[in-house]
């Protein structure tokens, strides 16, 4: 995936396809709510597997019933790129498996 910075228009267009995601500062972010701490932990593990596959790692915060994820592309100068949206899309696809909302 390209690691060139996305324009504001490109970011807005891609966000329209990812409900619940937003840009906070220079990062793509989302917080998922889950039914239990165990489900939240399982989601974190699943996200970590995806990150290793993509060799692209986000910041993850595990709460009692929440998982917060934020990501940007350090190799592009800490901005949002298509690589970040690729990771977000993969996470969006697996989150319902764990009961995330």
Q: Is residue 101 part of a domain?
A: no
Q: Which domain holds residue 71?
A: 1-75
> What's the sign of the alpha-carbon dihedral 50, 52, 55, 56?
positive
98 lies in some domain? no
Does some domain include residue 15? Answer: yes
Residues in the chain: 101
Note the pLDDT tens digit of each residue in 78-88.
999 999 999 99
41/100 Cα distance (integer angstroms): 11
- Within a domain: residue 35? yes
Please check whether residue 58 lies inside any domain of the structure.
Answer: yes
26-76 residue pLDDT tens: 999 999 999 999 999 999 999 999 999 999 999 999 999 999 999 999 999
**Structural domain count, the chain:** 1
CATH number of the structural domain spanning residue 1:
3.30.1360.20
DSSP states along 35-61: SSHHHHHHHHHHHHHHHHHHT---EEE
Predicted pLDDT at 3 = 83
52 found inside a domain: yes
Kindly indicate the confidence band of residue 1, based on its pLDDT and cuts at 50, 70 and 90: low
Q: Is the pLDDT of residue 98 over 90?
A: yes
């Amino acid at each position: 995936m390209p690691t060139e910075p996305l324009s504001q228009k490109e970011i807005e267009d891609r966000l329209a396809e990812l409900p619940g995601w937003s840009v906070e500062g220079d990062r793509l972010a989302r917080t998922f709510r889950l039914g239990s701490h165990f489900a939240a932990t399982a989601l974190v593990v699943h996200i970590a597997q995806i990150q290793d596959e993509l060799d692209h790692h986000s910041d993850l915060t595990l709460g009692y019933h929440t998982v917060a994820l934020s990501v940007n592309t350090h190799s592009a100068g800490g901005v949002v790129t298509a690589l970040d949206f690729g990771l977000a899309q993969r996470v969006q696809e697996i989150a319902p498996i764990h009961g995330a909302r």
